Structure 1
Amino acid sequence: MPAVTVSDITVLPRVETPDPALTSERAVRSVTSAPSGFEGEGFPVRRAFAGVDMRDLDPFIHMDQMGEVEYAPGEPVGTPWHPHRGFETVTYMLDGIMEHQDSNGGGGVISNGDTQWMTAGSGLLHIETPPEHLVVSGGLFHGIQLWVNLPRALKWAEPRYQDIRGGDSALLSTPDGGSLIRVIAGSVAGHNGPGSTHTPITLVHATVSPGAEMVLPWQPDYNALVYVLAGQGTVGNERRAIRKGQLAVFGPGDTLRTAAATSQPQAEPNLEVLVLGGRPIREPIAMAGPFVMNTRAEVVQAFEDFQAGKLGTIPAVHGAPTELRESN
């Protein structure tokens, strides 16, 4: 799980441990395990938010951990062309390569530590696939796709695409150098990530060394979630156990605590976590397949607009599948 690493963590800006006398630590509200499934044309995923109340997730809608899977030659798969409206998709690649193309002209290739941020807004079509050379050779594939809701006032925003290089993330460390903190979007201790968001959120990928602890200041008006990508450890001051494929939901407060177990699985030397939170939108949600709107009538209209070709035109790609599926 390379993502973005540094040769000398001691040179990075430090996130000072918040003073417990001046802050309120968030307690753990729940820990849930992500069930496994398949997405797109058949790649394995863990459904990170399964079983969690949408009110605790707001403004997030859905998150898949894609892989971690080692493909044999000819096995890598992606998604067919499909529509979206009413939200943003965030694809963060840890290992492997993914290509993006959409009907609004957005597109790019992301690999270790890169992020592609697509605002569907009023609607578009897109496709995500491994490049042809990776299909031929096979290889490791591991990433995250997150759906971020848009408030009613922004659901009809113009679509846009952001190609965020891993090296552009703000890189920080804890005072003891035991944790590498990558800020992809939002802000941690005054350090801003490169992602431009319509909905106010913070998105962080942190690597916590065995036996180390990470305490982050966190926006008090944001919700707070920690998802374990690899390894094992604890969350909260109560030291609630957590491991790969589990999601912790936190209650109110303005600091978050995560600690790595001293002993880690042989294939996963560190605790790898995705820390995310945002300002709740608190609006009605009507969701069906690739559309996230406020009312059922708006969802029906989105399907009708897609069928009428109003969400864009697929660029000429010979042999590309075009059927509508419930894809990321």
Structure 2
Amino acid sequence: MSNIKLIIEERAARIGDFLVGRLLPFRQKRAVGPFVFIDHMGPVDFSASQNLDIAPHPHIGLSTLTYLFEGNIMHRDSLGNELEISPGAVNWMTAGKGVVHSERTPDRLRNTPKRLHGLQIWVALPKALEQTEPNFYHAEKDKLPSWETDEVMYKLIAGEALGKKSPVPVYSELYMLEIVNLSQEDKQITIGEGLYGESGLYILEGSVRIKSHRYTAKQLLVTQESHLCSFELSAKAKVYVFGGEALPEKRFIHWNFVASDMKNIEKARTDWEQQNFPKVPNETEYIPLPTFNY
């Protein structure tokens, strides 16, 4: 019997005028381990007159993980960080009790054709750390553990797994792995003994076969038991395996806010509406609080 508990197809979602493929949350599965939100951005081509411009907006109760395959994003936040995100690097911002950031095309690329492709991920904080002070960490791609076995490349983006540890300072037991088949042949991957908790497998390119079933790109497979994680990876395929120990409390998600207590979200809404959040230096725009009900 297959170890796949649920198959989640990418669903189109709009962030301003930017279209993404949403994977989590899903009506039948709100989180995988502490991962509560995953968007697949692009690939999208911008003309010389088009740019990514996501104005300052707030977060609470989570860490954001930005991981690009192609393109560049200028990150600015209310902690004073201003840093360009490039492909293969990890941008990890912990909101805690509240942080504000913007995401834009870097100035040097604003008048040239450009392409953007990557993942935007939210990881919920443990309840005891939801109101922690915000902080920021950036790891260039050469700082992440990576290794090759039998023409298969592995990279540990965050957390601990397979005897490796990423430098990204996570706050709960989790992992996120990139696995790429470099060969022209299918490869059998068996990594379950190095995983724990809940596990998801996102197919970015190529396909995955588990027993007699073949799964294709833009599908997220949620396994029943992470320690049984074994699959065949098609030639030149690229997948992401992520998960970890589930947080014991339910998490509420409203707009950019994540919390185990709705009172924290209500306070964040009021604070943003009254512009009581810290400001991003040298930014005057901001995204207004949405008016939808919850």
Give 3-state SS (helix, strand or coil) of 1:302's partner: helix
> Equivalences for 1:22-41 in 2 at 5 Å?
27-39=3-15, 41=16
AA paired with 2:288?
L
> Equivalences for 1:232-311 in 2 at 5 Å?
232-234=207-209, 236=210, 238-262=211-235, 270-311=236-277
Give the gaps of 5 or more residues in structure 2: none
Counterpart contact for 2:273–2:288, Cα < 8 Å: no
Q: How far apart, CA to CA, are the structure 2 residues paired with 1:129 and 1:105?
A: 15
AA paired with 1:187?
E
For residue 54 of structure 1, the aligned residue among 4, 29, 52 is 29
Q: Deviations over 1:143-175 (max 9, x none)?
A: 10110001210001111111110111111223x
Counterpart contact for 1:83–1:324, Cα < 8 Å: no
What TM-score comes out, normalization by structure 2 length? 0.90
AA paired with 2:159?
G
For residue 314 of structure 1, the aligned residue among 277, 280, 283 is 280
Q: Going by fraction, where is strand more abundant, 1 or 2?
A: 2
> Equivalences for 1:141-220 in 2 at 5 Å?
141-174=116-149, 176-177=150-151, 179-208=152-181, 209=183, 210-218=185-193
Q: Write out the 4+ residue segments of structure 1 that deviate beyond 6 Å after TM superposition.
A: none
Give the gaps of 5 or more residues in structure 1: 1-24, 263-269
Aligned residues: 288
1:218 shift after superposition: 4.7
Counterpart contact for 2:76–2:280, Cα < 8 Å: no
Q: How far apart, CA to CA, are the structure 2 residues paired with 1:282 and 1:53?
A: 17
The answer on 1:224 being equivalent to 2:199 is yes
Q: How far apart, CA to CA, are the structure 2 residues paired with 1:276 and 1:315?
A: 34
Q: Deviations over 1:234-255 (max 9, x none)?
A: 2x4x343221111000012424
Counterpart contact for 2:25–2:31, Cα < 8 Å: no
Instruction: Calculate the aligned-residue CA RMSD, in Å.
Output: 2.1
Which has the larger displacement, 252-261 or 117-126?
Answer: 252-261
Match of 1:17? Answer: none
1:200 shift after superposition: 1.8
Match of 2:77? Answer: 102
Q: How far apart, CA to CA, are the structure 2 residues paired with 1:96 and 1:103?
A: 23
Q: How far apart, CA to CA, are the structure 2 residues paired with 1:218 and 1:165?
A: 28
Q: How far apart, CA to CA, are the structure 2 residues paired with 1:100 and 1:212?
A: 37
- Percent identity, aligned pairs only, is 24
